[in-house]
Amino acid sequence: MDAIADDAGGKRARGLDRAFEILDFLRQKRQALKPNEIAAQIGAPRSSVYELVNLLLRNGILEFTGGDGRVYLGRKLYFLGAAYENHFDFTRECEAALERLAGETRETAQFCMLDGNKYTVVHMREGARPFRISTDIGQSVPIPWTASGRLLVAHMTDEEILAFIPPQDFQLPGGEWLDPQAFLTEVRQAGHEGFFTFNSIVDSFTHCFAVPVMDEGHAAATLCLVTPRDDGLANRDRYLTCLKDAAASLSQAPTRPRRG
């Protein structure tokens, strides 16, 4: 009986893993898809994907949208996210820091974290400039493409970093390849200096600034400014000071749940 129970538990765990894989895949694709399209693109059996999609539909985690049996993330996820944010003071601290940064610099301010082995923007405030820089919140981006990425992996050893980042993520948007050893050198520089700035790899018109938000001795997140290239270079010292002050306040902010 113990073997049967263990096997059943293992199947349930694998089913949960697959369900989360479906949700994460839809989040990254940012579009409604048919269950058979999902199965083909994640390399999963159609029967198990159909079964899990139906379960998620019944519970409001997925919803039909776009016609032709296409499904996408459901509104239940919004309510779950809202409950999470309401439970933590840190979210309010983060929003206030971004508001202050955008006001002080007139630039786009971002709060960024790792999502698995990718970088993602979690919160953002646009600056007051007519020139707007937009980034999709929640979109997964290869770590080597970002200023923040150098800080978010700085607590790892070189071997851990190379094992953590998929080799294909060192191919840049233009098709050229970033030398992993050059990336590791920049990681060590960023960890030592406590910030990283560079001309954006993704957008040739922008300059990016990132500083760590520390938690238990390593960068749990980053605060960033994304600026027009000339303005960023001209205001480099002032922007770094603003970022460091804001990040220091967040590093001291409580990240534990609020007491009811």
pLDDT one-digit tens code per residue, 183-225 = 999 999 999 999 999 998 877 789 999 999 998 788 999 999 9
Residue 45 lies in a domain: yes
Q: Would you place residue 127 in the very low, low, confident or very high pLDDT band (cuts 50, 70, 90)?
A: confident
Q: Would you place residue 1 in the very low, low, confident or very high pLDDT band (cuts 50, 70, 90)?
A: very low
- pLDDT for residue 258: 47
- Total domain count, the chain: 2
Domain membership of residue 159 as a residue range? 88-251
Q: Are residues 117 and 240 in the same domain?
A: yes
Q: Are residues 237 and 150 in the same domain?
A: yes
Q: Are residues 115 and 227 in the same domain?
A: yes
Number of helical H runs and strand E runs in the chain = 10, 8
Residue 35 lies in a domain: yes
For residue 244, what is the enclosing H or E element?
helix 236-251
Please report, for the domain that includes residue 25, its CATH number: 1.10.10.10
Q: Are residues 10 and 127 in the same domain?
A: no
Residue 21 lies in a domain: yes
Q: Are residues 207 and 113 in the same domain?
A: yes
Q: Are residues 46 and 164 in the same domain?
A: no
Number of neighbouring beta carbons within 10 Å of residue 247:
25
Note whether 121 and 136 are within 8 A (CB): yes
Report how far residue 123's alpha carbon sits from residue 120's, in angstroms, rounded to the nearest whole number.
Answer: 9
Q: Are residues 109 and 202 in the same domain?
A: yes
Q: Are residues 36 and 150 in the same domain?
A: no
Q: Are residues 59 and 181 in the same domain?
A: no
Q: Would you place residue 257 in the very low, low, confident or very high pLDDT band (cuts 50, 70, 90)?
A: very low
Q: Are residues 17 and 95 in the same domain?
A: no
Residue 110 lies in a domain: yes
Report how far residue 184's alpha carbon sits from residue 189's, in angstroms, rounded to the nearest whole number.
Answer: 9
This prediction's pTM: 0.71
Question: Higher confidence at residue 133 or residue 232?
Answer: 232
Q: Are residues 108 and 209 in the same domain?
A: yes
Among 145, 138, 136, smallest CA distance to 169 is for: 145
